Structure formats: C-alpha cells, structure tokens
Structure 1
Amino acid sequence: MSKDTIVNEMRANLAREREGLALVRNTARGAFRVFETVGVVGRQGLGWLLGDREALPRHLRRTFESLGATYIKLGQFIASSPSLFPEEYVSEFQKCLDRTPPLPFHYIRETVEAELGAPLDTLYEWVDPKPLASASIAQVHAARLKNGADVVIKVQRPGVRQVLLTDFNFLYASARLVESLAPGLSRSALSGVIEELQAGMLEECDFLQEARNLDAFNRFLAETGNVAAVAPRPVASHTTKRVLTMERFHGVPLTDLQVLRRYTDDPAGTLITALNTWFSSLMVCDFFHADVHAGNLMLLEDGRVGFIDFGMVGRIRPEAWQGMMAFFEAIGSGDVPAMARAMAMVGMTSEEVDVDALARDISALQDRLTDVDASALVQADRNDREVNQLLTDLVRIGEGHGIRFPREFALLLKQFLYFDRYVQALAPELDMFSDQRVDLFGTLDQLPGDEPLH
C-alpha cells in the first residue's frame, strides 16, 4: 500500500470520526433541548394548576418567551395572524419580545474569525464591541472595512439552527399526535403549518441565502428603474452561512415622524414610495420582504427608502396573489360566489373544492360581510373584535371544504397591518385602497407572461 493511499485512508477515517462526533453532539443537544422544553412547560403548567392563575394568553406568552427563539417566532406568528387565532391571543402576543441579552464580544470575535479564517483586525479596520441589536437568532455590530466603507456584521447565535430543528421536530410530532387523537383537526393541517414555519425559520439561519436575497432585491430595483429605494449590498468576501457583512445605512425609521421631518417635508410621499416598491416586488421580484416592521424600513440621509433585514421573505404564486386581491374586492362588493372562487384560488388543498357549496356556506355570513369593506380586513387593529371574528369564521369555512391557507396568506396580512400603522403615523389622511398614487391593484391587470386578468 502506497504512502498516499495510507494518508488518504487516515484522512477519510478522521473525517468519519468527526462526522460521528458531530452526530453524537447534535443528538445529545437535541435530547437536552427536548428535556429542557418539557421542563419549562411542566413548571409553567404546574404553577398555573397550583393557583398562579394569570390570564391563559398571558401565561402562554410568558412560557413562549422562556422557551426562546423558536417559540418567540411562533408567538409573533400568532400576533400577526388575526384571521387564525382568537383576539385575546393576538393582542397578548403583540408583546412577545424578540430581544435577548447580548453575547460577549469575545464570542463575536471567535465566530467571525472561525467563519472567515483570519484575525478580526486583518478583516476589518474597526468593529464596535457594543451591539447595534441583539435578537433571538443573531446579533449585529457596526464595523468599518479596510477600504473605509461603513458596514454592519450580523453574527448568528451559537446552536440556533440545532435548537430550531429540535423544537420543530418536537412540535411536528406533537401536532401529528393531536391530529391522530382528534381527526377533525386534520383538515386544518396543523402539522403542515408547522412544516412551513420550520422551512421559513431555517432559511433565516442561512446568511448566504439572505445575501442572495439582498442582491436579488437590488437587481429588481435596477430592472424596474426604481432609484427611490435601496437594500444594503452584501460583502461576499466577508460573508458565510453564519456571518453576514453588509453595507450600513444611515437614516431614521419611518415611524419616527418628528425626526423624519428633519429629512423630508413630505412624509406621505416617502411612505408611498415604500408602498409602491413593496407592492411591485410582489409581482416582479422572486419574493417579497416579509418583515417590514418599524426597524426594517428607513428614510436614508440621501432621501431614498432603505429596506433592511431580508432574513424573512415570502414567495407567493401569482394566482394566489390574484385570489387574495379578488377576495378583498369580492367582500367589498358583497359578491359571495366571487368570494368562494377567490378562497379556492388562495388556499392550498389536495381536494377538488365544490365552489357552489362553499358559496352557500359563506352566504350565511352575507349580512356581516356587506357591512365590512375590503380595507377593514387589513386593518384588524382598528376594527378589532368584529373583523377578527369574521376572518376566523371565513378561514374555518374554508377549512371545512379542505382549504388550508398558505403561510404567505398570513405573511401578507401581517405586512398590510404594518403598512397600516405607517399610514396612521405618517399620513392618517392616506387611504391605501383609493389613493391614485398607491399602485395597489394596477400591477394585477397584466402579470409578466400571463394573459390579462380582466
């Protein structure tokens, strides 16, 4: 046997040993996480049974926060889904915090150096030890490259991906058990919802994918001639799956009206730019930004609107977006058959939907539907109890016909709610659904490569 063969075999054996050790470590961590979850739930449940009888939604929210990243994200999903959950839970989970104690800077240094393969001071001119933000998945630090460019470094927290995998496998198994014990729930496809959420959250842990999202969004802006908006440009040489270095923006959040007026005398025009950019991305870009909360939309010093944090994006089939808009329009006009057709178009089902039967079931709500216009459905925080209940009833009717609304349905509603809050803060006189400057429905007249819709 030659020397090279022996060396190659030794390397192969070493690689197998490392893989085996990694598997053992991950299995051990997974088992520990399951025990930890059961322990937290057990303690919280026991406390509640022994007399600590705070309101159940608040108790559940506090339990989710104790369990960390996965459950905090699930809590935020509940908070942004008034069509799927009772009002008291939606309201309580609005308080679900995604802020965690900052990691020590030595961990940030060690992670960046391990990922990029060089000492920190050879990679960056300067890195601020104090984080700009610290959340459940990552921590962000300001920095400067050797060429003088201002950047931010997004560093993933230790073990986050393994925790997500373990938590979601546990939740999926629990959901399947519940579905087997209560067959009536299987039509709501609880386990399917969990699978979709898992896919979205695991994507957030891949910073190379986020970098590709940033590049794709900037290409979309360039191809559509949009010079009024921008996303940070990633620095490929300083980016891996767990470290993302990108251009730093200087500006103010869109919701800070007093500070915003120092940058522009037309806050409404700035908001319209953001709205039209986002609506255009639904049809022209491969994805839409699925987390346009106050920290992720900025007015930059040069007057452009900055879209940041592309870890969470949504992808929607053109026919599903058609269906959602048709759904709102049908509710506004009281056209029940059109509403049934739109629900079947938006929803996901392996069954053939009997649209006539669906329309008959919806007609039972017709009196309530005629009292609610399309815009009310995306302003549930203004029209609280009645609108939330109406949306819940519509979803349940759809589920009764084998329709499961996709994750994107909730994501889109969530972004509408965010934009509604921007409108309230910046331009309360603006009506997203009637102002001619807002291109909400115009892009639906002709989709790229499709026949006319009307």
Structure 2
Amino acid sequence: MNIPPYNKRPDMGRLREIVRVMGKYHFGNILEAIGLKNRLFESLKLYIKSPEEIHEPAPVRLRLVLEELGTTFIKLGQVLSTRADLVGREIADELAKLQDEAPPFPFRDVRRVIESELGMPLEDIFSEFQEEPVASASIGQVHRARLKSGEAVAVKVQRPGIAATVKSDIILMKYLAKLANDRIPGLEYYNLPGIVAEFERAIRKELDYHQEANNAERFRAMFLDDETVYAPYVYREYSTSRVLTMEYVEGVKLTEILESDIKFNARTIAERGARCYFKQIFIHGFFHADPHPGNILVQKGNVLCFLDFGMMGHLDRSFRDKLAELFILLMNYDVNGIVNQLRYMNILTEDTDLEEVKYDIMDLLDRYYGADVKKVGEILTEFTMPEMIMKHRIRIPRDFVLLARVMSMAEDLGERLDPRFNGLEVAWEMTYSLMRKRLNPLRNLDEVPSALIELEHIMNDLPRGMIRALQRLEEGKLKMELEHRNLDEISRRIERSTNRISVAMLVSALIIGSSLVAIPKEALILQKFPFLGLFGFAVSFLIALALIISIIKSRKMT
C-alpha cells in the first residue's frame, strides 16, 4: 500500500468531520492549541454535548472519539494501547477496550473481490460458501466455506475501498501530528510524526494478507510438534493480498469460557497458555501480540488454537538471552543485578542516575512482592511508563513495550481462568532451563558458522578499507569530525594560565639576574652602589604586582 507523505493536501471534508467529533467530546482545547479553530471552521456548527451529558474522564472520551471516526482511528487506538510508555497506563488500558467491529458488506462485493483476486468464478473454487459472515471487522470479514476438494475453510475478504480510506486518513494523521508537534510545547518528546509512521507500518502489514499468511505459517511451524497448541493451515493457492483462506477450526472461544459455565479444565488451559507464551518469547523470539480471549479457541483436550496473526512481536537472540537473565534477577529481587542488566540491554543511558533508578526499582518491586509474586508483566509495564522514562532518561525498545503488555494481558487471562494459578512458576522453570542450555559449552558451536562468516567479511573488507584510508590521507582528503562542548571557554582559560606562567617565569628570571648584578664583585658599580641590580628588582616587583592584580580580578569575574 503506497501511502503518500503528510505534505499531500488533506481531505478537508474528512478534516471537518474530525474537528466536529473532537468538539463533540470536549477536546476543543486541543483544536485551539494546534490552530484549527480558525476562520475555516467558524462556520462549522459543532454539536457539542453539554457538561451534564458527559461524565466520562478524558481517556474514555478519547476512546469514543476514535470509535466514532472509524476504521483507521480505531486501529490507531489499538496500536497506542500497546504503547503505555507513550500514552500512560490509564489511556492504554482504555484504548485496549476498542472493539474492531463493523456492519458486514454485501455478498456481491465479497464475490467481486474473491473473483478479481483469484481469477476464477467463486463456484469453481468452493463447493459451498455461506453468504452470511461469521465475523465482520473494519478491514475485512470472514465467511465459512468448503473447497472443491472437501476441506472446510474460513475465507477472510478485505472490505472494498478500505485501502483508499486508510491512505486518506494517514495523510490527515501526518498533517495533524506535525501541527501538534510544532505548536504544542513539550510534545517533541513524544515524536507524534514518528508514532504515525510506526502506525503506518503496522496497518500496512495488516492490509496485506500475504504478511498475515506468513505469520500464521511461521507460528504453525513453531508448534508443529506440540500437542497442546495449534494454528490453522493456510491455503496459499487460494490466498492473495486481499483474500486469506485458512483451515476452519472448531472450538470454543476463551471469551465464552470466561463468561459462561462451559466445563473446561481452567487450570490446564492457564498453564498451557503460560508455557506457550514463554516458549514464543524466550525460545522463538516471535510472539502473538494480541492475546485477546476472542483470538484464542479451546479445542477438545484443552488444546489452544490461536487466530488472527496480524500483529506479531519480534525479539532477536541476544535480547532474548538478556531478557531471560532479567527475569531471573526480578524473581530473585536482585536490585543491583537488575540495574546492571538494564545497562547491558542499553535501556539505561549515560544520563541515567543509577542510584536514583535503583531506589525507584526497589519501590516498584516492593509494590508487587509479597508472599506470592505473580505479576512480572505488571512490573515490566510499570517500568515502561512515561514518568519513569522521562525521569531517568531511559530508552525502551518498541518490542520490549509490546512484550510487557502481552505478558500483562496473559497474566490477567491466566488469573481470570484460575485465581490460584501462578504463571511465574512456569517462567522460573523455563528461564532456568534456558540458562543451563546457554551455559553449555556445546551451545557455542551453533554460533560458529555466523562467526566465521563475520570473520570472512572482516578479512575481505579490512585491506580495502585500509587502502582507501591511506589513499585519502595521501591526497589530503581524510576528514575527521570532532564534537566539542565549551572548547572556546577552555581555550581562553588555558591561554590565560599560559600567559601567567610565562610572566611568572620572566619575573623569576629578572629576580635572579638582578640578584647576580647586585653582587658587588659582578655589578656595574657607580660610586660603590649596584644601581642596575636595584632597577631589575623594581621592574620584577611591578610585573609581579600586575600579575597578582590580574589573578584577583579574574577570580572575581568567575
């Protein structure tokens, strides 16, 4: 999806709609701050609810604004719900309630999209196709069908025109983000244009069903040998960027289990869910980033089946190893170890006061530690709050924030299934197992091929790099960039000190010379009196006096 940059002209009709909805929910102060209450909107009659009609706090009103503005803004809210480090815990929790639901679009449009994408009539692909969707969202809807070969499938079809709507809204978001970033003091820290750019990447992936198919296949391969976790099979020959055909899976959604008296082994489900998530995070570094109960089915035998692979998180091997170490330190209440580990993970910066952050971590752990610790996800989420980030000048990797949110959601889900369940028992077992494997000397053999490749690159590049550097040095084209701070002031001070040392040396020389001349045997004596020696002493005295006065004045000035 090619989304134009923010400097393209925004849709003024849509902009008026945004202003109307924001005014309706009493966000007029924001409109005024970014300069949208100008003559262009004076004639726009806003329906603004009276204070008596609105009793909800700002986070709730923000959610209502996004819901009313539709698809793109709902998706933006869902992305921001994973960034508590930017919007704060209260807003993130409220935005997590956004439901991506929309009225279904007509079957004739479904047929047109499928036949256009797959290049053949619907009847030549499916022996059965239910016209009523089993689920309908803002980007697409899902229909149950049966292939000619007999397999039951779920066909996800993208809503017609949704890509164009998203493009238009992205242009508006970039326009508004730049206005707010330029005109509201203090917002530079949040980098609103950067947030919109991150959202653009996320929704670009969600609009491309090829990406979701790749995610589903990778997840399925991860748990192919695990009888407790399942992922549907993707029928690639019947999938495109706008149509996704997957195996239809029978099961009961976790939402139904939580809200009804359906008999399942809740403790088994909670334990398997915890093992599944820790395996995704620590072993594979590829995890399902939306563990909403509606995205997880429970099949016979308490088998967990994951759905909707549009949002996934990624962690590289080095970060996973450090994360496992951090978990062990958290569970052991090792504050000094936690601080050091956060430094190794490049989360603490040079500007961080290590003593201050240590005391804040102690306070944070004390809030959660007791007879039974269950909330590591909560601890990580608290650490990624804006207050901590700004106070200690720490930098949080995006996937670390996403990981904290996912773990927190998984912990809450496990607790709702079984209040007695403690997922950290699973985490403890798995992280220690990973650490034992990591300390195994044979583990390093896996890294030999990549190390040899890197060594080969260095051996190939080093001679060429040295030759280029020598050529530039010979030609006088070698450039060096130095960053200096307050060097002018340092130079002035060095110059003053050097001058004073020079004058002091001169005075010393004059004194010594005058002393020698004043000796009767060596002096030029006029009537037996060493006038030349006394003259040298007088000059030395005056220069020394001037030097002392200069030093006193410079101290007063500084």
TM range (shorter): 0.7 to 0.9
Partner Cα distance (1:171, 1:441) in 2:
45
Identify the residue that residue 13 of structure 1 maps to in structure 2.
Answer: none
The 5-angstrom pairing of residues 306-317 of structure 1 reads: 306-317=305-316
**Contact 2:286/2:312 (8 A) holds in 1:** yes
- The structural deviation recorded for 1:226 is 1.6
- The structural deviation recorded for 1:212 is 1.7
- TM-superposition CA deviations, 1:111-157 (whole Å, max 9, x none): 11111111111110111111111112211111111121111000111
State the secondary structure of the residue aligned to 2:215: helix
Asked whether 1:406 is paired with 2:405, we answer no
Aligned AA (2:208)? D
Identify the residue that residue 162 of structure 2 maps to in structure 1.
Answer: 160
**TM-score, structure 1 normalization:** 0.78
**Contact 2:147/2:153 (8 A) holds in 1:** yes
The 5-angstrom pairing of residues 2-401 of structure 1 reads: 34-47=11-24, 48=26, 49=28, 52-53=50-51, 54=54, 55-181=57-183, 185-222=187-224, 225-257=225-257, 264=264, 266-285=265-284, 287-301=286-300, 303-327=302-326, 330=329, 335-344=334-343, 353-354=349-350, 357-366=352-361, 368-373=363-368, 375-379=374-378, 391-398=385-392, 400-401=393-394
**Contact 2:15/2:172 (8 A) holds in 1:** no
**Contact 2:274/2:426 (8 A) holds in 1:** no
**Contact 1:255/1:426 (8 A) holds in 2:** no
**Contact 1:233/1:247 (8 A) holds in 2:** yes
**Contact 2:270/2:421 (8 A) holds in 1:** no
State the secondary structure of the residue aligned to 1:152: strand
Aligned AA (1:52)? S
**Contact 2:375/2:411 (8 A) holds in 1:** no
**Contact 1:337/1:359 (8 A) holds in 2:** no
- The structural deviation recorded for 1:214 is 1.7
- The structural deviation recorded for 1:204 is 1.3
Identify the residue that residue 15 of structure 1 maps to in structure 2.
Answer: none
Change (3 A) 1:418 1:135: same
Change (3 A) 1:366 1:89: closer
- The structural deviation recorded for 1:369 is 2.4
Unaligned runs of at least 5 residues, structure 1:
1-21
Partner Cα distance (1:242, 1:294) in 2:
25
How high is the sequence identity, in percent, across the aligned residues?
26
- The structural deviation recorded for 1:220 is 1.8
- TM-superposition CA deviations, 1:232-277 (whole Å, max 9, x none): 111111100000000010011234447998675x332233223222
Change (3 A) 1:300 1:160: same
Partner Cα distance (2:255, 2:431) in 1:
21
State the secondary structure of the residue aligned to 2:97: coil
Aligned AA (1:411)? L
Unaligned runs of at least 5 residues, structure 2:
29-47, 448-558
Partner Cα distance (2:328, 2:165) in 1:
42
**TM-score, structure 2 normalization:** 0.65
- The structural deviation recorded for 1:98 is 1.0
Asked which structure has the greater RCO (Cα within 8 Å, sep 6+), the reply is 1
- TM-superposition CA deviations, 1:34-56 (whole Å, max 9, x none): 43442222112333355534333
**Contact 1:336/1:359 (8 A) holds in 2:** no
Change (3 A) 1:46 1:305: closer
State the secondary structure of the residue aligned to 2:305: strand
- TM-superposition CA deviations, 1:292-340 (whole Å, max 9, x none): 2112111113643211111111112233344445555555555555444
